[in-house]
Amino acid sequence: MAAMLCALQFLTVIPVPARRPCTAAELGRGVAYFPLVGALLGVVLAAAAAVLQGRLPGGVRAALILGLWVALTGALHLDGFLDACDGLFGGSTPGERLRIMRDERAGAYAVAGGTLLLLTKHAALSGIPDPVPALVLAPMVARWTMALAIFLFPYARREGLGRSLKDHVRPREAWTATAWAVALAGLLAVLSPVPPGDMLVATLVGLAAGGILVRVALRRLPGLTGDLYGAVTEVVETAVLVGFCL
């Protein structure tokens, strides 16, 4: 329970009982519950979409949902995506790219990447007739992908929050996260009016996009970073929404 609450506290701003600083070991164990946290986040977003359905134009509804999405995560993953854009495309050497990622200032690549990301999310949400299933699946699949990225790939820095996560994630956490993802996706497939095949396509599009980002990052850096974990989450979320549009 402590590990699950730490995961919820780390990934969202949703209030948790007895909020307190979590140890590195608790955060590492909490990686097993990342997909569950993503699904809980998705349920909140889906509830908001259901309330707004038919009451506002699709574009306005999508903008409000997107704003809620960013607010509930404290812009944690979006901030990582912006830093990753600057670092991956603004430096000429691995060391320079890592240094740029730690710079709090946003450069041209961050502004352009963040704008395109949010525009794509907004357009996708506006184009999905019933966004409720997509809003549950996208954050869940994205946080499952992040859990796998933490476990499977090397970390680029010797210190930092991402380093603590990486050092305390074992195969058990990765397998547990996968079990949660499969179980939650299966439950959603049963409850959702969307055909399971369409949901599978959206999931595969998301996983492919996350894999491409990791491949690009590993060609430019000796490993992943905390910013790249956030970037993977944002890219997979966006790709799953686009997959629903397909």
Domains of the chain: total: 1
pLDDT score for 192 = 86
For residue 96, the enclosing domain spans 57-245
Task: State the Cα torsion 54-38-10-33 to the nearest 10°.
Answer: 150
Q: How far apart are CA 143 and CA 245, in angstroms?
A: 21
Collapsing DSSP to helix, strand or coil, 155 comes out as strand
Collapsing DSSP to helix, strand or coil, 160 comes out as coil
In a domain, 107, yes or no: yes
In a domain, 101, yes or no: yes
pLDDT score for 58 = 84
pLDDT score for 194 = 86
In a domain, 5, yes or no: no
Q: Which residues contact 122 (CB under 8 A, 6 or more apart)?
A: 59, 62, 63, 66
Collapsing DSSP to helix, strand or coil, 4 comes out as helix
In a domain, 19, yes or no: no
Q: How far apart are CA 158 and CA 136, in angstroms?
A: 35
Q: How far apart are CA 62 and CA 52, in angstroms?
A: 9
pLDDT score for 56 = 86
Low-confidence ranges of the chain (pLDDT < 50): none
> Tokens 């990225």, residue?
149
- 172's enclosing H/E stretch is helix 171-191
pLDDT score for 163 = 82
The answer to whether the beta carbons of residues 98 and 87 sit under 8 Å apart is: yes
pLDDT score for 102 = 87
State the distance between the two ends of the chain, measured CA to CA, in whole angstroms.
38
pLDDT score for 53 = 85
The answer to whether the beta carbons of residues 35 and 144 sit under 8 Å apart is: yes
